[in-house]
Amino acid sequence: MEKAAVKEDGLLIPLIDFSKFLHGDESQKQEIAKAILHGFQTAGFIYLSGLPITEETRTHVFGTSAKFFDQPLDDKMAIAWTTPEANRGYSAPGREKVSQLADPTEVEALRSSVPDIKESLEIGREGEPGHPNHWPKEKDAMVGFKDTMLDFFEQCRALHVEVMRAIAVGMGLDAGFFDGFLDVGDNTLRLLHYPAVNKEVFKINPGQVRAGEHSDYGSMTLLFQDSRGGLQVKSPNGKFIDATPIPGTCVVNAGDLLARWSNDTIKSTIHRVVEPPHADGDVHPPRYSIAYFCNPNFQSHIEVLPGTYAAEEEKKYPGVNSGQYLVQRLAATY
Ligand SMILES: O=C(O)CCC(=O)C(=O)O
Ligand SMILES: [Fe+2]
């Protein structure tokens, strides 16, 4: 039996040892595959431990990400995010004027806007024709940045393939069923930084969050969070529940396209990032996380999966092109 990472208000997010799928015997593989699929079908979220990505890699990538965000705003703006088709580059935070909150009109303006308090860098598949990545200049603290991120991108790409193999096994399909849909690696690595924020900001703005509620779009997201906390997942009863960080794990959530692909037998669950549950003093320290958004190859045609419907009329969705679906969804957010 696997353990629960989160268990509250009807939301049970399992904690699953993935090394038993990768290296276990046949019965362990089956057991883990079923647990993973069940987690996606019920919560839409799982926590994986026993990952092939080492703690050393993880620490190095988080350190490198922090160095990127540490750069002057101008340097980051020089590689700004451009279009949903490219989906690459830097997005600046909504900037709050916390020091001027005594002015009631300012406060009102802030209250009505409540932008997310975060900045991010999106890195796509290196070498995608027409869409070069926006890399920071290879100098000073940014020397080696590109290599570090490309290496991590590849490790996450490989992990996605393995988790999809587990889903295939769980569904009773061939283990390699999804391989041909994923081999290109049309994925996005998003580095996230939620800057330090005064607690007052959350008090003055009841609606203030670090990242607004949403579901993800693709097949699944591999989410690496630091120890700060603040990620919340919506329970079946509509309450936001803390998805507390567990060292050495990766949170994996199914996206909208996988839900659609599975005829809604897999859930793409709403989540958000809010004020962490604890803070010493007046300021919440910064939070860093890394989301790796996995997608079926942009060229893939996504038809409801065999075994998720009994009769043709039970298919809830027509086929769709993966790339077109994703660009459409992204265009609606930015
Ligand atoms: O930072 C996090 O923990 C969550 C980020 C997230 O949900 C997203 O970027 O889609
Ligand atoms: Fe998300």
For residue 98, what pLDDT is reported?
Answer: 38
205 band by pLDDT with thresholds 50, 70 and 90:
confident
Q: Atom 8, ligand 1: which residue's CA is nearest? A: 291
Pocket flag, ligand 1, residue 271 (CB < 6 Å): yes
pLDDT tens, position by position, 15-55: 999 999 999 999 999 999 999 999 999 999 999 999 999 99
Residue listed under structure tokens 């027509």: 318
Q: How far is CA 230 from the centre of its chain?
A: 14
Residue listed under structure tokens 């803070």: 279
Pocket flag, ligand 1, residue 289 (CB < 6 Å): yes
Residues with CB under 5 A from ligand 2 (ion): 216
ipTM over 0.85: yes
pLDDT tens, position by position, 144-175: 999 999 999 999 999 999 999 999 999 999 99
Pocket flag, ligand 1, residue 273 (CB < 6 Å): yes
Contact 268, 219 (CB under 8 A): no
Q: 288: CA distance to ligand 2 center in Å? A: 14
Contact 71, 137 (CB under 8 A): no
Count of CB atoms situated within 10 Å of the CB of 199: 13
Atom of ligand 1 nearest to the CA of 231: 3
Contact 275, 194 (CB under 8 A): no
For residue 207, what pLDDT is reported?
Answer: 81
For residue 103, what pLDDT is reported?
Answer: 60
45: DSSP letter:
E
Count of CB atoms situated within 10 Å of the CB of 129: 5
Ligand 1 pocket: which of 123, 216, 271, 292 to mutate (most atoms within 8 A of CB): 271
Q: Is the pTM of this model over 0.90?
A: yes
332 band by pLDDT with thresholds 50, 70 and 90:
confident
Atom of ligand 1 nearest to the CA of 192: 1
Domains and CATH numbers, the chain: 3-331 (2.60.120.330)
Structure tokens at 191: 């580095």
DSSP run (H or E) holding 288 = strand 287-294
Contact 70, 140 (CB under 8 A): no
For residue 278, what pLDDT is reported?
Answer: 79
pLDDT tens, position by position, 269-304: 999 999 888 777 888 999 999 999 999 999 999 999
Pocket flag, ligand 1, residue 290 (CB < 6 Å): no
| CB-neighbour burial class of residue 220 (10 A; exposed 0-12, middle 13-18, buried 19+) | buried
Pocket flag, ligand 1, residue 211 (CB < 6 Å): yes
Res 104 pLDDT > 90: no
Q: How many CA atoms lie within 13 A of 300 on its CB side?
A: 23
